[in-house]
Amino acid sequence: MSLGPHHSRTNCPWPWAHVAVGILAFGVRLAHVLFLEKSDPMFAHPAMDARWHVEWARALALGIAEGGPFFRAPLYPYFLSGLFKLFGMSFLIPRIVQVVIGTSGCLLTQELGKRLGGRGVGVVAGLTAALYGPLIYFDGEFLVETLFLPLIAASLLLTLHARESSMARRPAVHWWVLAGFVTGLATIARPNMLIVAIGMIAWIFWELAPGRRARAITAWLALFALPVGAVTAYNASEGGGFVLVASQGGVNFWIGNNRIADGKSAIFPPYHGPATKARSRYRDSVEFNARLEAERRLGQELRDADVSSYWFGQGVRFIRDEPGVWIRLTLEKAYFLVNGYELPSNREVYRVRRWSPVLATLLWERPLAFPFGLIFPLALAGILIASSAAANIHRPLHRLLLLYLCIYGVGVIAFFVTARHRVPIVPTLIVYASLALASAPSAFRSMLNRKHVRPARAIALFLMFAGGVALSNTEYFEVRKYHRGEHCLNLGYAYAQQRRYEEALTEYQFAIAEEPRFVRAHFNAGAVYAAQGRPDEARQALMTALEIDPKYVDAWVELGRVNSEGGNFKEAEETFRKALELNPKHTLAHYGLALLYLKAWDFAGYKRHLALAHQADPDFAPANLAIAELLVEQGRPNEAREYLKRAARVDPQSPRLKKLAASLGN
């Protein structure tokens, strides 16, 4: 077996191999996105992190200053805002741009394979990346991964190229600078790269002679620190304290390390209520509840850095107090990392197959957890081949890839594991799996030629592959069990936004069947019944929600709205005021009262509660539109435009918004 980087240079002309992989990768990704546009109910109604990114990007594109430190890393939302500025608030065009970026990621993976083991390995790696189902899926979502994965591959390649320039005594400072800068960009896309950066510095130190180390590391660090330092300085200037890139690290560490953690679910701290109101800006419930619970326990207001430190400390305390439980949990997370099942995060990946024939073809659960359940065992075999003294591979790149794979994998295990969190190790696994696949023909020929058979080596490869198959395709530790109700609520919400109410109800009823006391599912069902004009069923569902949780304010508000629409104004007012007793700053309760006053021709009461609704939540779209209408009537168009901007951030397709904007000449 000889698959060195120089072995097959004449076998496959470089441009044609890359062109073929590029066309294939682009074609399948574009087809996937177009299928989703046609039939996926969540295509224009993203949920959770994707919704966060879209609304953050819209705000930036509209010139709305967010203020405050970053809870999440900012690179992807800023990138998305640039696309919104260039192409408008389209849901399709940014995804097509992401298809191009995802295609570049496949080409970079191909280049990593070529550098590691030759052109044959590179072509197999490129083709595998092009057809790898989860990579295709993430390139169609408004999530960080579509930008992050190509940045990682570029960072590894640039760092390797800088090392080779230094070894060849060519000018290399600019390559070290560029490699550090790209790694810094990757870090402000996902802060997990901070620990990888430490490993990369160690690799540079190991690979270079003493006389070249200091200059290379200094150049690499100087530009790595530029984006990371800029974001950290911004966080400090906004009153967040010392927050490296984003403040979510502490609570995410606690989520993966506490008594009730299962290692694969984002179970947030004690619940203080939903962070997001209907037709308002999305706020992360983890951020919202983590802050409220930390401040409640400590009895004081906290900076973002303090909130993060508190929850990190709670995770460390759990490890210290219950080491046996933590060790078992960590072993389970290690199993989840290498298991082929794609654990859901924002969406149930496997349910998306129904809307995308591309994904239905390239992603399966059983009998083999494809493709990860095949790629991981092959990658283990590839790592063993690359580590053999006889292998003709690029050893510095092998060390760099293996270092990245181990550090990033351990970093994921330290928090919690989902398909989304582990996908950054997939391109590296693909490179090693491709080395194993490309090595198979020569290995087979060696087996036929008994003079060259190495039984111990063959047995080791077989055991490595078989062990990988077992880890990736078994179902221990309830790996496939998760709280489906949350995903049903997100899909139901998307259906409801499109007025596909029966389909929305089906999702909510499924969530209730799985968890009969799931209060938000009962509430959402009540809201859909109300939208359908079925007040009796709406009241019944809402009263069930209130029996489960009498302090669930949103249910009181929705009940008030049902009463109001039924002409029961007195009961409606009593219900809204009951909600305000529980939460005096509840936006929807104030807005409900404002509409009641408007129906009673009490304009003073209408304006008073409208102002209170806006004060409680400046991003609540109906209040912003109503205030904009009042300002237009008063001849104050410039002020009206500012309120329209906030409404456009949440609901840019609102007919009421478009009518007002047209009246202002926007």
SS3 call for 626: helix
Amino acid at 103: T
Dihedral angle over CA of 631, 634, 636, 637, nearest 10: 70
CA distance 364 to 372: 10
- The pLDDT, as a whole number, for residue 10 is 40
How many other C-beta atoms are found inside a 10 Å radius of the C-beta of residue 23? Answer: 12
Q: At what angle do helices 323-338 and 455-473 cross, to 10 degrees?
A: 100
CA atoms within 13 A on the CB side of 109: 34
CA distance 6 to 496: 58
Amino acid at 71: F
CA distance 393 to 416: 34
Task: Look at residues 528, 516, 518 and name the one whose alpha carbon lies nearest to residue 492.
Answer: 528
- The pLDDT, as a whole number, for residue 483 is 84
Task: Look at residues 519, 524, 521, 594 and name the one whose alpha carbon lies nearest to residue 564.
Answer: 594
Beta carbons within 8 Å of 456's beta carbon, 6+ residues apart: none
How many other C-beta atoms are found inside a 10 Å radius of the C-beta of residue 346? Answer: 22
Residue 253 covered by a domain: no
R_g of the chain, CA atoms, integer Å: 27
Q: How far is CA 329 from the centre of its chain?
A: 23
- Signed CA dihedral, 408, 411, 413, 415: sign only: negative
* Helix or strand (DSSP H, E) at 19: helix 14-39
Task: Look at residues 53, 40, 105 and name the one whose alpha carbon lies nearest to residue 84.
Answer: 53
Question: What DSSP string runs through 531-562?
Answer: HTT-HHHHHHHHHHHHHH-TT-HHHHHHHHHH
Beta carbons within 8 Å of 72's beta carbon, 6+ residues apart: 49, 52, 246, 248, 284
pTM (predicted TM-score): 0.91
Written as six digits, the tokens of 318 are 């759990």
Residue 394 covered by a domain: yes
Task: Look at residues 281, 274, 285 and name the one whose alpha carbon lies nearest to residue 621.
Answer: 281
Beta carbons within 8 Å of 249's beta carbon, 6+ residues apart: 191, 308, 312
Task: Look at residues 128, 110, 142, 122 and name the one whose alpha carbon lies nearest to residue 36.
Answer: 142
Q: Where are the alpha helices (DSSP H) in 388-479?
A: 395-414, 419-422, 426-448, 455-473
Final residue in a domain of this structure, among 425, 454, 473: 473
CA distance 409 to 334: 9
Q: Where are the alpha helices (DSSP H) in 68-118?
A: 75-87, 93-117
Contact 176, 161 (CB under 8 A): no
CA distance 427 to 408: 12
- The pLDDT, as a whole number, for residue 6 is 43
CA distance 405 to 196: 9
CA distance 517 to 520: 9
Written as six digits, the tokens of 88 are 């408008």
pLDDT tens for each residue of 169-181: 777 899 999 999 9
pLDDT tens for each residue of 381-404: 999 999 987 778 999 999 999 999
Residue 526 covered by a domain: no
Amino acid at 58: R
Residue 576 covered by a domain: no
Written as six digits, the tokens of 81 are 């805002």
- The pLDDT, as a whole number, for residue 446 is 58
CA distance 234 to 213: 31
Measure the CA angle with vertex 171, ends 165 and 175; round to 5°.
Answer: 65
How far apart, in Å, are the Cα atoms of 284 and each of 3, 248, 454, 601?
49, 10, 56, 38
First to last CA, the chain: 67
Final residue in a domain of this structure, among 473, 496, 515: 473
Domain enclosing residue 450, as ranges? 14-242+343-473
Question: Which residues of the chain, if any, have pLDDT below 70?
Answer: 1-14, 268, 270-278, 443-454, 666
CA distance 344 to 141: 13
Dihedral angle over CA of 118, 124, 125, 131, nearest 10: 170
User: If you count them, how many residues does the chain have?
Assistant: 666
Residue 128 covered by a domain: yes
CA distance 367 to 345: 23
Report the domain count for the chain.
Answer: 2
Final residue in a domain of this structure, among 447, 473, 499: 473
CA distance 553 to 561: 13
Residue 134 covered by a domain: yes
- The pLDDT, as a whole number, for residue 277 is 63
Task: Look at residues 262, 247, 365 and name the one whose alpha carbon lies nearest to residue 311.
Answer: 247
Is the preceding peptide bond at 367 cis, omega within 30 degrees of 0? yes
| DSSP structure class, residue 352 | G
Q: At what angle do helices 93-117 and 119-130 cross, to 10 degrees?
A: 150
CA distance 333 to 538: 42
CA distance 91 to 93: 6
CA distance 534 to 271: 30
Q: How far is CA 393 from the centre of its chain?
A: 34
Residue 336 covered by a domain: no
Residue 302 covered by a domain: no
